[in-house]
Amino acid sequence: MTDPNDLTPAERRAFEALPREAKPPTGLEDRTVALLQARGVLAVPLRPLAMPTRRWHPAWLVGALAASLALFASGIAVGQFLGARSATIAAAVGLGSSLAERTQQVRRTGSEYVAALSALLQETDSSDAASRQRATEAALGALGAAAQEVSRLAPSDPLAAAVLRGLTERRRASQPPPPTRTVVWY
């Protein structure tokens, strides 16, 4: 005989229909973990000392790209400007100037050459043969180049011819004699 207090099938089904799980409250897991860490049961995760990871914002990336493009374009513009200016100077010195101006320029550079030569001679140590030789060669080189230009301008100019002749003889005298060849006959 069944006990009247026993569950009826309907009651049994009603109990079976009850949920067996429930969603725990939000944050309970983290609070429990924190408590266990405080008690030393769970290890406390080590936070890296390195710099925090930076997330590049798209707007920042676009700005950086625009800035680099602007820098590149301005570099090209500056380069073109400098190139154009040097071409202008060259034109002004060469083709654009008159004969009188070029004559004046030669005189000016000639004066500068003489001044430089004077300064060189003053600074040259007369007791040092090597430095005296170097200064003399520099001065004679410039003198020879000038005489060469004068002889081209006036081929019959006796002074220029004499200077060139003297320099040629000096060069020839300073060169070592060619080595004598020894022929061995068998």
Partner 1 sequence: MPPLPAKVADRAPGNHYPRRGNKGDEYGTPSSGHGPHRVSRAMALPNLIEHDRALASQVLAGDELAFRELYRRHTPRLYQLVLRLLGGRDADAEDAVQETWLKATERLDRFRWECAFGTWLSAIALNIAREQMRRRIRRPEADWPEDLDPPAAAPFDVVDSMDLEHAVADLPDGYRAVLVLHDVEGYTHEEIGLALGIAEGTSKSQLFWARQALRAALGGRQKGTSA
Site residues, partner 1 (CB under 8 A): 5, 7-8, 10-12, 14-25, 28-29, 31-33, 35-37, 39, 41-43, 45
Structure tokens at 156: 């019959």
**How far is CA 18 from each of CA 8, 13, 15, 58, 153, rounded to the nearest angstrom?**
16, 9, 5, 51, 122
- The answer to whether the CB of 151 falls within 8 A of the CB of 144 is no
C-beta closer to partner 1: residue 37 or 109: 37
Q: What 3-state DSSP class applies to 44? A: coil
C-beta closer to partner 1: residue 36 or 82: 36
C-beta closer to partner 1: residue 22 or 50: 22
Work out how close the CB of 70 gets to partner 1 at its nearest, in angstroms, rounded to a whole number. 49
Work out how close the CB of 64 gets to partner 1 at its nearest, in angstroms, rounded to a whole number. 38
- Residues 130 and 136: their CA atoms lie apart, in Å, by 10
C-beta closer to partner 1: residue 23 or 54: 23
Work out how close the CB of 74 gets to partner 1 at its nearest, in angstroms, rounded to a whole number. 54
Q: How many helices (H) and strands (E) does the chain have?
A: 6, 0
Work out how close the CB of 51 gets to partner 1 at its nearest, in angstroms, rounded to a whole number. 24
- Residues 41 and 35: their CA atoms lie apart, in Å, by 9
